[in-house]
Structure 1
Amino acid sequence: MHLYSLLCVIICVFAFECHAQQFYAREEPVEPCGGKGSKQVDVRGSREQRRAAETIIASFKRDSFACSEKPGTIITQDSVRIDLQDAVGGFERNGKRWRNLQLQQNGPRRPGYPSTIATVLIECNKTFPIRLVRKAFVDSMAKCAMIWLSQ
């Protein structure tokens, strides 16, 4: 009987936690993808760049960003890094405040060519499941799109 009660409590807590907040992810394609004048590198054909990006994404642990947080590099590994790009306060769009996270290549940038591999725009002062944040980076990279995460 105790085991049954414990299982019921676990299921209820899990169900409540899963349904208490709804998260939304919206894709905005980057046009053109890759090349001169683009906002994002097309890594779909580069196994080496994808592997480096996937490694840093897997180790990324941040699930929220304050509107008041200063921009800068959050994490660096080998040939890539994740930066908080925008100014303190983020930016406003559709009545919400956002922060701009970018997965970028390290090293010198070729003039006119992007260094950004993935872009995740995350609603500031909100907490998201880390799996959703990581998936947004992977989706951005795989689909050559900016991913907007909101609640």
Structure 2
Amino acid sequence: MATMKVLVLNGPNLGRLGVREPDVYGHQDLHQLAEQCARWASELGLDVEVRQSDDEAEVIHWIHEAVDHHHPVILNPAAFTHYSYGLADAAAQLHTAKLPLIEVHISNPASREAFRRHSVISPVATSTITGLGFFGYKLALEAVSELQQ
């Protein structure tokens, strides 16, 4: 049986992990996140591909790719969370395709500035995990593994 591929997609400024507000986002960088996700995925028998873009259109295209190739998605939409209806429309296609979409946030948006408290992604996500740092990605991978059995 082929290993299930999971796309871990990260939005704007997450390429600056370790540099951008380390008190909020931690001291580890995107490369370390990718390494941890690969290790956790391997333990679950999953294949993971971690991507990051500051370009909204690119993230939307990646979600289209996930739908077309039947890949579950773990998405940290970052700032796109609060206003990207295009991303929300793309993400809704995962639900239609019966694929998990786990929304992940390193910090807890509900405990931050008021504008961060609204997500246009959460209504189309299978689940949302917030405020647990990189550990949230591990939980998301475990959720995908469970949901795809």
* TM tier relative to shorter chain: under 0.3
- Normalising to structure 2: TM-score of the pair? 0.27
- Normalising to structure 1: TM-score of the pair? 0.27
Structure of higher CA gyration radius:
1
Bigger strand share = 1
Bigger helix share = 2
- Bigger relative contact order, structure 1 or 2, given CA contacts below 8 A and separation 6+? 1
